[in-house]
């Protein structure tokens, strides 16, 4: 039974806050958002606050997939679920929250419940407050008591650059929407550099450790900028920056490939694997 009266919903909303099992936000390839709350059984009426946005297509069901008694506020900001002996699922669509600009999807998200985000299959990297987060096999992330700026790119382009040193070839991969020019590697100065043509675009570099060891310092036109080193295994590391203006980006490492690298056989195998995977934009070096 649904009671749409806003006055009744407002009166009941002074009751207890619903105890959640989970809140899940599912994002489609086209940016459509669906939300599901699973709340615990309760002997009293409980209130579910919806995530800010344009809420529509509200459905409230019990574990038997039958309609559960509830009341909805006039602006859909609050849903009151009446006493229930079973878990209750509150589902709705959420509009006007994801904005896309130059292929970058962005959501200024704030919701105090811990929230799971599930992304399209084509997304393997997201940015939370400009910090990169790699998406695992579960296709999502969890945000605790969440206030963040969420950004991601679908099928982000991957640029492959080859560096030759001591008759060996090393593959460097750059993920970005920006145009990249003038790629070069300077062995004596331990520096990898290239020109970034577009401002405020994420630039993620996949570096072979046998070419340039971390930690790194990153400079844009000789000015040091913030970088994030966020995934490393025995052969590679992921480095991310977001230049605020066009210019020459320089990545300076602590050391370069040794004269007689001992990991070249391993490196050859790993680079071959990365080259194959990058064709699908699904690089995963866990």
Confidence of residue 256 (pLDDT cuts 50, 70, 90): low
pLDDT in tens, 93-113: 999 999 999 899 999 999 999
Evaluate whether 211 touches 270 at the Cβ level (below 8 Å): no
What is the distance between the alpha carbons of residues 274 and 282, in angstroms, rounded to a whole number? 9
Q: Is the pLDDT of residue 267 over 60?
A: no
Confidence of residue 257 (pLDDT cuts 50, 70, 90): low
For the entire predicted model, the pTM comes to: 0.79
Evaluate whether 144 touches 110 at the Cβ level (below 8 Å): no
Confidence of residue 260 (pLDDT cuts 50, 70, 90): very low
Q: Is the pLDDT of residue 24 over 70?
A: yes
CATH number of this structure's domain 2-153, picked from the four choices 2.40.340.10, 2.60.40.3650, 3.40.50.720, 2.40.50.140: 2.60.40.3650
For 94, phi then psi, to 5°, come to -130, 115
Taking all residues of the chain, what is their mean pLDDT, rounded to a whole number?
Answer: 85
**274/141: higher pLDDT:** 141
Query: What string of H, E and C letters represents the secondary structure of the chain?
Result: CEECCHHHHHHHCCCEECCEEEEEEEECCCCCEEEEEEECCECCCEEEECCCCEEEEEEEEECCCCECCEEECCCCCEEEECCECCCEEEEEEEECCCEEECCEEEEEEEECCCEEEECCCCCCEEEECCEEEECCCCCEEEECCEEEEEEEECCCCEEEEEEEECCEEEEEEEEECCCEEEEEEECCCCEEEEEECCCCCCEEEEEECCCEECCCEEEECCEEECCEEEEECCCEEEEEECCCCCEEEEEECCEECCCCCCCHHHHHHHHHHHHHHHCCCCCCCC
Evaluate whether 81 touches 18 at the Cβ level (below 8 Å): yes
What is the distance between the alpha carbons of residues 237 and 216, in angstroms, rounded to a whole number? 11
Handedness of CA 173, 174, 179, 184 (dihedral sign): negative
Q: State residue 93's pLDDT score.
A: 98
pLDDT in tens, 137-186: 778 999 988 899 999 999 899 999 999 887 889 999 999 999 999 999 99
* CB atoms closer than 10 angstroms to residue 132: 21
Q: State residue 15's pLDDT score.
A: 61
| Range with the poorest average pLDDT among 69-73, 138-142, 263-267 | 263-267
Confidence of residue 258 (pLDDT cuts 50, 70, 90): low
Q: State residue 280's pLDDT score.
A: 39
pLDDT in tens, 36-58: 999 999 999 999 999 999 999 99
Evaluate whether 282 touches 124 at the Cβ level (below 8 Å): yes
For 282, phi then psi, to 5°, come to -125, 45
Domain spans, the chain: 2-153, 158-278
Q: State residue 183's pLDDT score.
A: 95
What is the distance between the alpha carbons of residues 84 and 261, in angstroms, rounded to a whole number? 66
Q: State residue 145's pLDDT score.
A: 81
What is the distance between the alpha carbons of residues 138 and 135, in angstroms, rounded to a whole number? 8
What is the distance between the alpha carbons of residues 144 and 33, in angstroms, rounded to a whole number? 19
pLDDT in tens, 192-239: 999 999 999 999 999 999 899 888 999 999 999 998 988 778 889 999
């Amino acid at each position: 039974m649904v009671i749409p009266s806003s006055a009744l919903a407002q009166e009941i909303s002074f009751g207890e806050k619903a105890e959640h099992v989970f809140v899940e936000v599912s994002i489609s390839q086209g940016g459509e958002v669906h939300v599901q709350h699973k709340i615990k059984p309760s002997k009293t009426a409980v209130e579910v606050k919806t995530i800010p946005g344009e809420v529509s297509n509200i459905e409230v069901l019990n574990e038997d997939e039958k309609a559960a008694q509830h009341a909805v506020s006039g602006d859909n900001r609050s849903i009151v679920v009446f006493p229930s002996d079973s878990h209750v699922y509150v589902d709705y669509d959420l509009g006007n929250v994801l904005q896309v600009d130059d292929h970058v999807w962005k959501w200024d998200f704030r919701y105090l419940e811990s929230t799971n985000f599930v992304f399209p299959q084509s997304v393997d990297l997201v940015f939370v407050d400009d910090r990169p987060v790699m998406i695992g096999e579960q296709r999502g992330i969890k945000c605790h008591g969440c206030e963040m700026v969420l950004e991601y790119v679908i099928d982000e382009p991957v640029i492959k650059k080859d560096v030759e040193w001591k008759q060996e070839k090393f593959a460097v991969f750059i993920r970005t929407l920006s145009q990249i020019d003038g790629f070069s590697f300077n062995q004596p100065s331990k520096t990898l550099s290239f020109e970034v043509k577009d401002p405020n675009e994420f630039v993620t570099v996949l570096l072979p450790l046998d070419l340039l060891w971390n930690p790194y310092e990153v400079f844009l036109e000789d000015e040091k900028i913030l970088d994030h080193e966020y995934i490393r295994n025995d052969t590679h590391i992921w480095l991310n920056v977001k230049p605020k203006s066009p210019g020459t980006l320089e990545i300076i490492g602590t050391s370069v490939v040794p004269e007689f690298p001992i990991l070249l056989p391993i490196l050859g195998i790993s680079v071959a694997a990365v080259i194959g995977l990058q064709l699908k934009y699904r690089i995963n070096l866990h």
